[in-house]
Structure 1
């Protein structure tokens, strides 16, 4: 049976980087669910979350997500087109957070995520992977860090992507707003699963966090 490992946590905590590395170490696929919500937000367009529910449902019914490869070579595609760094702007991230509040969007994407998880072993990162989507996952992690730390990491990530980031203080405020949206939404709010392993990454570097995740995941898979 396919095995699923989940990494949840707030924006800017390093989930994508760590989940991709963990998937590579375990030789399984990497599922970036945040990219799925960002892709849906882009496909709906600015203020797409204000469209009539019936129109959103009709548009989503035409979307098809697929997952190919494993580890660092995993490719997530929507309608046959690979999803890339064009989704990583702060604006699209804000749209995605608002779109994710809609029941019709969450229902569609949760179904797609579960279908991919039933087809192959994977490491899934997002906001509610362990608490809602993959409640029977072999191993669940919840990563967290102080907003100021996450904002600085996000600043350097945007620079590495060739983008011009907002001033650091604006990124901190944007993360606080995003956190509030994610933690207070009525459907699938951001919170650790009851059986999740919680890791505060504020004062740890990537290698230290990865070592913890790899050791814990290996132990879970041996059970």
Structure 2
């Protein structure tokens, strides 16, 4: 009898700190970290190289030629696309907007849901995204939903970009975050919302370590 992979999901809006926390939790549990946002960004990035407004046939052709995988654990986890690691090309604010845009396309969401579930059948992992607990991994052992105001998230994102050496404008970032929130929460397919059994954490009053400790306090590894 095969052992069921141990899965933790962390959902929430853009800029709430999901990626860093998911990687940190995965590292502490010695399991993989699945950056599903990178998968949506990769699809959006590849579409933008071809056509920012692809038709049905172009979308189907693109995703039929995409194969995702996952390597490593914790901080060293890496989403693989067609045999290569994804880099800085998918980490721009523009790529983030394209990710939100393609996330509204039914065929893309279906394709990525299947790709993510296939990965989750093979390895234990911490998955972060918008609908990990509500749609992709509804049977996950632990589900968390993180939230914070758009202003707090914009400030965090600005500081994150500046630490990486990228010039950042707070007002522009805030506008993009609000646009993404509007798109993510009101899309007809898998809108951003907590799973019914998710543990909801407001990250606004807490630093990264405080939220990390709160999440860790709930998890009892299987």
Q: Give the TM interval when normalised to the shorter protein.
A: over 0.9
- Give the TM-score of the pair, scaled to structure 2: 0.95
- The runs of at least 4 consecutive aligned structure 1 residues that moved more than 3 Å come to 46-49
CA 130–53 in structure 1, closer or farther in 2 if over 3 Å, else same: same
CA deviation vs aligned residue, 1:37-62 (integer Å, no higher than 9, x gap) = 00011111168452111221111011
Residues 1:171 and 1:214: Cα distance change in structure 2 (over 3 Å): same
**Structure 1 length-normalised TM:** 0.95
Task: List per-residue Cα deviations over 1:128-160 (Å, max 9, x = no partner).
Answer: 000000000000000000111000000011112
Name the residue aligned to 2:211: 209
CA distance, structure 2, for counterparts of residue 148 and residue 73 of structure 1: 30
d(CA) in 1 for partners of 2:171 and 2:139?
Answer: 39
> Residue 139 in 1 paired to residue 154 in 2?
no
Count of residues paired in the alignment: 219
Partner of 2:201: 199
* Partner SS, residue 101 of structure 1: coil
Which residues of 2 match residues 1-223 of structure 1 at below 5 A?
A: 1-45=4-48, 48=51, 50-165=53-168, 167-218=169-220, 221-222=221-222
Provide the rounded CA distance (Å) in 2 between the counterparts of 1:21 and 1:67. 17
Q: Please give the secondary structure, in 2, of the residue aligned with 1:50.
A: coil
Evaluate the alpha carbon distance shift between residue 46 and residue 98 of structure 1 in structure 2; reply closer, same or farther with a 3 A threshold: farther
Instruction: Measure, in 1, the Cα distance between the counterparts of 2:87 and 2:49.
Output: 19
